[in-house]
Chain A
Amino acid sequence: EAQVTQNPRYLITVTGKKLTVTCSQNMNHEYMSWYRQDPGLGLRQIYYSMNVEVTDKGDVPEGYKVSRKEKRNFPLILESPSPNQTSLYFCASSPFAPPSYEQYFGPGTRLTVT
């Protein structure tokens, strides 16, 4: 089954404790992206990757890191989480071109930073 998986689905952590949210897709997609969803703001892009070893900042990259060492995986790293990073996070993937292709979303990760 074609899918994007994220782990963990729920996470409660404390300020400053490094964490990683994993994302994996089994569709051989080149393009992968991370979004955060906040009430009244919709989804906003954090980082994206057009292929292995190619990553770039989205609209809200501060406080986040990513890596793309393998085509299927695109982890999101919070080196020192802060309460303003409490949010719902989505990973998504699609073929790189054309932009008409649907982006497939993971199930979401609910992160709470206290």
Chain B
Amino acid sequence: AQTVTQSQPEMSVQEAETVTLSCTYDTSESDYYLFWYKQPPSRQMILVIRQEAYKQQNATENRFSVNFQKAAKSFSLKISDSQLGDAAMYFCAYRGYGNKLVFGAGTILRVKS
């Protein structure tokens, strides 16, 4: 079975600074997809960024980028120029052949002004 591990329960970052959230996963599948979801206090789940395992190029979406290391099974999220609106719970998630999303435990990100 696939597992996803987020080892940082909480992180803090100063406004305008850069922060990296860590995620590792375990799978025996060769083709899969990885996602980062943001959950603000409203509880809505918002897709931040996705990465296809067969693509070596790291995905980027504006201030959000990932560092995908397939051999190490690592998928970290970098947030540049952090803003107050980035404060939220962030979940790393895996989706393979079975279509099920497997989530990590989440990382609470606090942004200080």
Is A74 an interface position by the 8 A CB rule?
no
Q: Is the CB of A90 within 8 A of B105?
A: no
0/1 string, B59-83, CB within 8 A of A gives 1: 0000000000000000000000000
Nearest residue in B to A41 (C-beta to C-beta)? B105
- Total interface residues on A, CB under 8 Å, equals 25
Q: Which residues of B are found within 8 Å of A44, using beta-carbon distances?
A: 103
0/1 string, B96-113, CB within 8 A of A gives 1: 110111111110000000
- Chain B's interface size range is 20 to 34
Q: Do most interface residues of chain A lie in helix, strand or loop, or is the interface mixed?
A: strand
Q: B101: which of A100, A103, A107 is its contact (CB, 8 Å)?
A: A103
| In the complex with contacts A41-B105, A100-B33, A100-B50, A48-B43 CB distance below 8 A | no
| In the complex with contacts A42-B91, A43-B103, A99-B45 CB distance below 8 A | no
CB proximity of B88 to chain A, nearest CB, Å: 14
Q: B105: which of A40, A45, A48, A88 is its contact (CB, 8 Å)?
A: A40
Q: A99: which of B4, B42, B95 is its contact (CB, 8 Å)?
A: B95
In the assembly, what is the distance between CA of A96 and CA of B36, in Å? Answer: 20
| In the complex with contacts A99-B95, A107-B43, A43-B101 CB distance below 8 A | yes
A–B Cβ pairs within 8 angstroms, 22 of them: A35-B101, A41-B105, A42-B6, A42-B91, A42-B103, A42-B104, A43-B101, A44-B103, A45-B102, A88-B43, A90-B45, A92-B101, A99-B33, A99-B97, A100-B33, A100-B50, A102-B47, A103-B101, A105-B44, A105-B45, A107-B42, A107-B44
Binding site for A on B (CB under 8 A): 4, 6, 9, 32-33, 35, 42-45, 47, 50, 52, 91, 95-97, 99-106
Binding site for B on A (CB under 8 A): 31, 33, 35, 40-45, 48, 50, 58, 88, 90, 92, 94, 96-97, 99-100, 102-103, 105, 107-108
